[in-house]
Amino acid sequence: MSGAQQARDRYDEALRLALDEAERTSGSGDVPVGAVVLDPAGTVIGAGHNEREATGDPTAHAEVLALREAAAHAGAWRLTGCTLAVTLEPCTMCAGAIVLARVDRLVYGARDPKAGAVGSLWDVVRDRRLNHRPEVIPPDLVGPDVAARCGAVITEFFALRRLR
């Protein structure tokens, strides 16, 4: 197996874990987004799912919650060497948090054309004016089945909301 295929398999597995986390929003009214932070060895050290509706906290996005848990686990705010995998392209707040946490790699499963800040509307994480720029693994560099599932979870959620 090639190095590129091994990397893709690792990214796909991380996104599957993030999808499992997204399922935890069921019934809360929160948009089903999940995130996991992996340490350099590939061990999950942080996980989160959207909890804005459940907690009334506007910052309770999956990425922020996963980064907080990872920092607590690491005992430091710098998450150098870590990978954040998230089911949906981060918004500006989350993209800023990723930069500030010094995450080395961002993997995301679905683009967000309405609020995405990793290339769709803005590109916060690759802005050359900032002091840190993580490697970005977009949906077209992960397995098509995993990327499709990440997108489908969001599409299904909003389709059901429109029916209500």
DSSP 3-state assignment of 93? helix
61 marked as binding residue: yes
Q: State the DSSP string of 38-80.
A: E-TTS-EEEEEE--HHHH--TT--HHHHHHHHHHHHHTSS--T
Sheet containing 105-108, strands listed edge to edge, beginning at the edge strand earlier in sequence? 44-49, 34-38, 83-86, 105-108, 135-137
SS3 content of the chain, % helix, strand, coil (to 5): 45, 15, 40
21 is catalytic: no
CB 76 within 8 A of CB 101: no
C-alpha to C-alpha distance for 6 and 70, rounded to whole angstroms: 24
Residues 13, 21, 23, 63: which is the catalytic one? 63
73 marked as binding residue: no
Residues annotated as binding site?
A: 61, 91, 94
Please list the active-site residues. Answer: 63
Annotated binding site for Zn(2+): 61, 91, 94
